[in-house]
Amino acid sequence: MKTRVLLFALLFTGIVSYAQQDAQFTQYMYNTINVNPAYAGSRGALSIFALHRTQWVGLDGAPVTNAVSVNTPFNESRLGLGVSIINDKIGPTHENTISADLSYTIPTSETVKLSFGIKATANLFDLDVTRLNPVDDDPSLHDFNNKFSPNIGAGVYLHSHKGYVGLSVPNFIETNRYDDNEVAIFKEKINYYLIAGYVFELSSFAKFKPALLTKMVEGAPLQVDISGNFMINDKFVVGVAYRWSAALSANVGFQVSDALYIGYGYDLETTNLDNYNSGSHEIFLRYELFNKNKKMTTPRFF
Return the CA Rg of the chain. 20
Question: Does residue 60 sit in helix, strand or coil?
Answer: coil
Q: Per residue in 212-250, pLDDT tens?
A: 999 998 777 889 999 999 999 999 999 999 998 889 999
Reply yes or no on whether the pLDDT at 20 is more than 70: no
**Is the pLDDT confidence value at 99 over 90?**
yes
Q: How many H-runs (helices) and E-runs (strands) does the chain carry?
A: 1, 17
Position 61 scores a pLDDT of: 87
Res 279 pLDDT > 70: yes
pLDDT tens digits for range 116-136: 999 999 999 888 777 766 655
Residue 137: band (very low, low, confident or very high) from pLDDT cuts 50, 70, 90? low
Bridge partners of 95, per DSSP, are: 88, 125
> For residues 65 and 96, is the Cβ–Cβ distance under 8 A?
no
Per-residue model confidence as pLDDT tens digits over 53-97: 999 999 888 999 999 999 999 988 999 999 999 999 998 888 999
State pTM to two decimals. 0.84
Checking if the pLDDT of 293 tops 70, the result is: no
User: How much is the mean pLDDT over the chain?
Assistant: 85
User: Which of 51, 74, 34, 25 lies closest to 247 in space, CA to CA?
Assistant: 25
